[in-house]
Structure 1
Amino acid sequence: MSAWYDSSVFYHMYPLGMTGAPKENREEQTEGRFEQLDAWIPHIKELGASAIYIGPLFESTTHGYDTRNYRLVDRRLGTNEDLRKFVGLCHESGIRVVVDGVFNHTGREFFAFRDIQEKRDGSPYRDWYKNVNFWQGSPLGDSFTYEAWQGHYELAALNLRNPAVQDYLLSAVSFWVQEFDIDGIRLDCANVLDFDFMKALRSHCDRLKPEFWLMGEVIHGDYSRWANESMLHSVTNYELHKGLYSGHNDYNCFEIAHTIRRQSEQNGGIYRNINLYTFVDNHDEDRIMSKLKNKKHIATVYTMLFTLPGIPSIYYGSEWGIEGARTPYCDDMLRPAISPDQFSEYHTGLTDYIAKLARIHKAHPALCIGAYRELFLTNRQYAFCRSSENENIITAVNIDGGAADLSFSLPMGGSRAIDLLTGENMLIENNHLCLHLTGCESKILEIVG
């Protein structure tokens, strides 16, 4: 039996950006921006999402990943009570809530780091950070140095092998569940987190709340090192993310199919028992509409996102096809402020198409947890089957600008195919399917009879 997250469609919110919060947290007073976030909930539900990944949320100095208090909501957004209300409103709408867990590092204003600045080797927290050295200074003027995340000294790397640090962070997780009733955590920088810490976190969360979901940010490597029975339930599928946009830009469906065959093919895929978190853009990546050379490919990109193996996620604003590309010095254009008053102004045919895909995905277990089988493949056309115990769903896409005919045998019985996008019925003869697709068209077919 699958858990709630296996059949979810996620909506990714970056609250500091979408509410237009100040870039630096220097004011004493709390600003109430959660009313803006609350107003997104009906839109998210209408779009067909059943879970939200939102973050970072907790008190920080700048972008949210330089935490200074794990038990206090960032004052640029609101109060703990505001977050508690937001989660409650989501739950009332049937939407689960997953928050960012920034456990690899803290900001320099975190209490333990401040104590080391004041007391040096006399601080009881001197072993809370990696490679603290009191014999030389840091690039930021401290009388000691320490390990920083990727050389960014405003992000001091925690020593997760220290039992006191582990206990502190696990206690913070308990606080989040008890105070806010969250349903899971997305682990920032999971690729560099200590494995023993993640095992302790998994064990702790399994006891804390049934079906509590742990998903990690991992870009490269063997995803099964992190996503397994003893650590995380899932990780970010950056491999497929790359395949989706570059496979379209190069008119090379082989790249996409090879990725899925390697990951999920039922007789050999190395991650076929792991439901990876899939996406076409996020708060660290250029918007998919900016990445695509042919903007008409947006429909087939999203068709694949919602029908290939994985737990699909929509990044706020991309349901309207907005663009945004980072520069070497700034990510702000990836995280724009959007007022709920602008929803109707932004609404496009893409919005409706994504909502339809989300409803189809959630309604069909084969698309959530079904086995994958490739049926047809050329550079510009691709068809595959997702099969569960009682369902067979076939997706066929044509990424060429002109029309194409696909013809292939079916691995299962059936007399008819119903197009879940249009309601069209077509006959199946001798277990063979012939399809005509116009340029950049998709079909999602349920096999019946």
Structure 2
Amino acid sequence: MWFNEACIYQIYPLGLCGAPAENDGIREHRILRVLDWAEHIRGLNMTAVLFNPVFESDRHGYDTRDFFALDCRLGTNEDFAQVCDALHAAGLKVILDGVFNHVGRGFWAFRDVQQKKWDSPYKDWFHLDFNGDTQYGGDGFWYEGWEGHNELVKLNLQNPAVVEHLLEAVRRWAQEFEVDGLRLDVAYSLPPEFLARLRRFAEQLKPEFALLGETLHGDYNRWMNDDACHSVTNYECYKGLWSSFNSGNMFEIGHSLARQFGPEPWTLYRGKHLLSFLDNHDVERIASMLTNPAHLRPAYGLLFGMPGVPAVYYGSEWGIQGKKSEGDAALRPALEIPRKNELTDWVAALAAARQKSEALRYGNYRNLLLTNAQIIFERAVEKERVLVAVNAAGEPFTAHFDAGAGCAIDLVTGLPHDFGGGSLLEPYSVCYWQVS
């Protein structure tokens, strides 16, 4: 599947395009700004674009009003089709955010229930109790919100009419925008039978239509199997990717990766392709999380070298900051045009190395060396091995370990490497040593 070989660029469009926080009902063609990003994204050697919500919503996109219409703050369906066409022409796949667990209070069917109460044909689309109310008051009924957030009205996914409505939306997205996959918001909240139905539908809809589920903790195999998602978000390793650097403890990420992908028979996800990331629209920017800015380069090196499908969040490739304590707007800023600096060049080089290496895309995982500040691991397929070496320290380190070979080529720099006498790692460095 194409997803297993992807490098994904994530965009939160309401933020990037500078839409107002509240839906003001004014149509502005802001989504066309993404056209100016296509060349930048391709120059980073990304292969797919993940759009967070683009459809009509109350505020932030996860409170949908209409699954069939682009948010007026972003423009029209025709505008978005133009953007998708441009991205596809640049060789990029397109993934949309599928928000199927809940909708906003402005969702057309919920508004009908507010107006007609018991007489609404849509009252069974939600989990309602006409003997209560919520903190909003005036609805004349209580309803279940997502995890206590009553601005997000939970859909009744046991209702066949609701499921058919959502599947028809997906069908329309595939036809109108030729999308190649979906990110399923809060996939861990979706019923297994809904995931199974969506998986069968996706398989018939379009060859290799990818389903990526948002999951947090627990056994990811619950949501990543032949009757659910193809992949899920790897939040376990997300935490290790930044805290291993901050705490000077590379054992944390090394043990997490070995637990997930290592050679032991109890390994959980060997051969599977979880989504790996340093940051996204819900968490602090990596440049704000790392206490030492010099760790940005090795953190990205680790991201692209580890098993999984790497994702880069817009703006982080040149090191912008954003703190969760400052609110969602700080994590989802408006950016006029993309920038380029040494970090973007580094990310592009890492993505290029990954794309030309079968071992980095599909290889098994095995730790070769672990210290507080260094990690060296092997990614191996039948005809290729790549040794990923990370030095998080501010001084050079000479690594002595059994490489199983005398020489290698660094996939990032193209320079030869001799393992004899120890392998020198420069401060804050990452090497991808290819051994054929």
Q: Which TM-score applies when normalising by structure 1?
A: 0.95
**What secondary structure is seen at the aligned counterpart in 2 of 1:39?**
helix
Q: Give the drift of 1:401.
A: 1.3
Alignment of 1:228-377 (within 5 A): 228-268=225-265, 269-327=267-325, 330-340=327-337, 343=338, 346-377=339-370
Cross-structure match for 1:409? 402
Q: Distance in 2 between matches of 1:9 and 1:410?
A: 28
In structure 2, the partner of 1:40 is 37
Residue identity opposite 2:433 in structure 1: L
Asked whether 1:10 is paired with 2:1, we answer: no
Give, in whole Å, the separation in 1 of the partners of 2:414 and 2:129: 67
**CA separation in 2, counterparts of 1:389 and 1:38?**
41
Cα displacement (A) at 1:441: 1.4
3-state DSSP of counterpart to 2:346 = helix
Q: Which amino acid aligns with 1:188?
A: D
Contact 1:228–1:274 (CA under 8 A) maintained in structure 2: no
The gaps in structure 2 that reach 5 residues or longer are none
Match of 2:190 in 1: 193
The answer to whether 1:164 aligns with 2:161 is yes
What is the SS of the residue equivalent to 2:434? strand
Q: Report if the CA contact (8 A) 2:32-2:80 is conserved.
A: no
Please list the CA deviations of residues 135-170 of structure 1 after superposition, one character each: whole Å capped at 9, or x if unmatched: 112211111010001211111000111111111111
How many residues align structurally? 434
Once residues 181 and 426 of structure 1 are traced to their aligned partners in structure 2, the CA distance between those partners, rounded to angstroms, is 44
Match of 1:397 in 2: 390
Of residues 301-310 and 30-39 in structure 1, the stretch that sits farther from structure 2 once superposed is: 30-39
Matched, 1:445 2:436: no
The Cα offsets for residues 94-142 of structure 1, whole Å up to 9 and x where unpaired, read as: 1000000000001111121011111112211111112x00011221111
Contact 2:409 2:435 in 1 (8 A): yes
Given candidates 107, 130, 136, the residue that maps to 1:140 is 136
- One-letter code of the match for 1:96? K
| Paired residues for 1:422-437 under 5 Å | 422-428=413-419, 434-437=422-425
Q: Distance in 1 between the 2:12 and 2:351 partners?
A: 21
Q: Deviations over 1:238-257 (max 9, x none)?
A: 00000010111000010001
2: CA distance, partners of 1:265 / 1:43: 35
* Partners of 1:398 and 1:201 in 2: CA distance: 43
Secondary structure of the residue that 1:336 maps to in structure 2? Answer: coil
Does the aligned pair in 2 maintain the 1:26–1:61 contact within 8 Å?
Answer: no
Partner SS state of residue 127, structure 1: helix
Larger mean CA deviation between 274-283 and 263-272 belongs to 263-272
Deviation at 1:26, TM superposition (A): 2.1
Equivalent position to 1:121, from 118, 121, 141: 118
**2:354 & 2:411 partners in 1: Cα distance?**
10
Q: 2:53·2:62 contact (CA, 8 Å) conserved in 1?
A: yes
Distance 2:320 2:24 in 1: 31
2:132/2:140 contact within 8 Å kept: yes
Alignment deviations for residues 366-407 of structure 1 (CA, whole Å, 9 cap, x no partner): 111111111111111110111122211111111111111101
Q: Secondary structure at the match of 1:409?
A: coil
Q: For the residues of structure 2 that align with 1:156 and 1:121, how far apart are their CA atoms?
A: 17
Partner of 2:203: 206
Could you list the per-position Cα deviations for residues 284-309 of structure 1 after superposition, in whole angstroms to 9, with x for gaps in the alignment? 00000100011111111101100100
1:150 aligns with 2:147: yes
Q: How far 1:347 moved relative to its partner?
A: 2.1
CA contact (8 A) 1:286 1:324 kept: yes
Per the TM alignment, residue 428 of structure 1 is displaced from its structure 2 partner at its CA by 4.6
SS in 1 for 2:325: coil
Q: Is the 8 A contact 2:24 2:73 kept in 1?
A: no
Task: Output the CA distance in 1 between the equivalents of 2:136 and 2:424.
Answer: 63
Cα distance in 1, alignment partners of residues 419 and 107 from structure 2: 64
How many angstroms does 1:273 deviate by? Answer: 2.8
**What is the CA–CA distance in structure 1 between the aligned matches of 2:171 and 2:426, rounded to whole Å?**
53
Structure 1: which 4+ aligned runs deviate by more than 6 Å?
Answer: none
Distance (Å, rounded) in 2 between the aligned partners of 1:283 and 1:120:
36
d(CA) in 2 for partners of 1:172, 1:63: 19
Q: Please give the per-residue CA displacement for 1:211-248, whole angstroms capped at 9, x wherever unaligned.
A: 00000111111111001111100110000000010111
Instruction: Report the AA paired with residue 294 of structure 2.
Output: K
What SS does the corresponding residue of 2:368 show, helix, strand or coil?
strand
Question: Secondary structure at 2:169's aligned position in 1?
Answer: helix
Q: Mind listing any 5+ residue stretches in structure 1 that lack a counterpart?
A: none
User: Residue 19 of structure 2: which of 16, 21, 31 is its match?
Assistant: 21
CA distance in 2, matches of 1:164, 1:71: 16
Per-residue deviation, residues 1-20 of structure 1 (Å, max 9, x unmatched)? xx111111000000000111
The alignment's C-alpha RMSD in Å is 1.2
Structure 2 Cα separation of the partners of residues 298 and 111 of structure 1: 45
Distance 2:32 2:201 in 1: 32
TM-score, normalising length: structure 2: 0.97
Specify the SS of the correspondent of 1:72. strand
